Homo-oligomer: A and B are copies of this chain.
Amino acid sequence: MSPAAVDVLAIGNALVDVIAAASDERVAELGCDKGAMTLIDAARAQSLYAAMGPGREISGGAAANSCVGLAALGLRARFIGRVADDQLGEVFAHDIRAAGVAYDTAPGGPQPPTGRCLILVTPDGQRTMNTFLGASHALAEADIREADVAAAGILYLEGYQWDPPAPRAAMRKAIGWARRAQRKVAFALSDVWCVEGHRAEFRAMLAEGAIDLLFANEREAMALFQTGGIDATVAAAEGAAPVVVITRSEHGAVVLAGPTRHAIPPAPAARVIDTTGAGDLFAAGFLAGVAQGRPFDDCARLGAVCAAEIISHWGARPEADLNALARAAGL
């Protein structure tokens, strides 16, 4: 196995977030499920956008956010995801490249348009996401090169992209390439509905050893293992993959690495403005730690520092110097 030329190769949705403040009442009036991620079609995207308050557009996409976090930490990241040939596609491509992430997925035509995530942020900082996937769905096997997978130390896959058939087939192929090249595969469950839709397949992938590192938040982990309560979920998750990371918002994170359990507290956040991207940036910090060969508890601490930064401002792309924050936290 040759040394990795890239630390992390990630495959995910290429989205621009459209972020607006909204009251809890307004979120309910708009028929949104507070805190969840809901897939919406073009017509719903149009009507919901018309009803939303003034927005700010900031590039997003779960795995893409993680890549930007990795690059901000000085790691080498490559992202694969499909935009359209339109202005939001230009925004996405510009922002991820300007952040130092390698990105060369060819855009599709002008239709379907670049995917976007309409995000309502309530005064408690919680985000309610409504995603119109648009061009993201059209990612195909041909967009992923075996050489890129083989050159990356970690292949990182976003559960959100498992739903549409073409990206799923592409990701399955990428897992095979990563295995052949003896690279690690990390997988994020992304959302409870991803788990509900693909539980048997995800559990089979875990059972056959296709996943080395599983990221799940508490609710996703409960959905995957069909457990109730954190203790039963942690017990069920033990050994499901060589490393399982369960994030628990303000309760921190649990890392299960073989027989070892680490419970990591959250990093202190200066303020909570918008929790969009908290999980993505936790994953960025954790993956950076893994790539740097840190012990898993330090990987989780680095993840917590990155998550604390991202929730302190609007949007899921880091604004502060993550390395400086990590140093300040003794990492």
- Residues of chain A touching chain B, judged by Cβ–Cβ distance below 8 Å, are 20-21, 49-50, 52-59, 68, 86-88, 91, 94-96, 98-99, 113, 314-315, 317, 319
Contact = CB atoms under 8 A, between A and B. Distances in A.
Given A54-B59, A55-B98, A56-B315, 13 more contacts: A20-B98, A21-B319, A49-B94, A53-B98, A53-B99, A54-B95, A55-B91, A55-B95, A56-B56, A56-B58, A57-B58, A86-B86, A86-B87
A1 to B, nearest CB: 33
Contact of A99 (B54, B56, B91, B94): B54
B98 A54 contact: yes
Given A56-B58, A87-B113, A94 B21 contact: no
A109 B52 CA distance: 25
Mostly, the A contact residues are mixed
A96 B54 CA distance: 7
Please give the count of copies of this chain that the complex contains.
2
Given A87-B86, A87-B88, A319-B21, A94 B50 contact: yes
A95 B52 CA distance: 9
Contacts of A319: 21
Contacts of A68: 54
A16 to B, nearest CB: 8
Contacts of A52: 94, 98
A58 B314 CA distance: 12
Contacts of A21: 319
Contacts of A20: 98
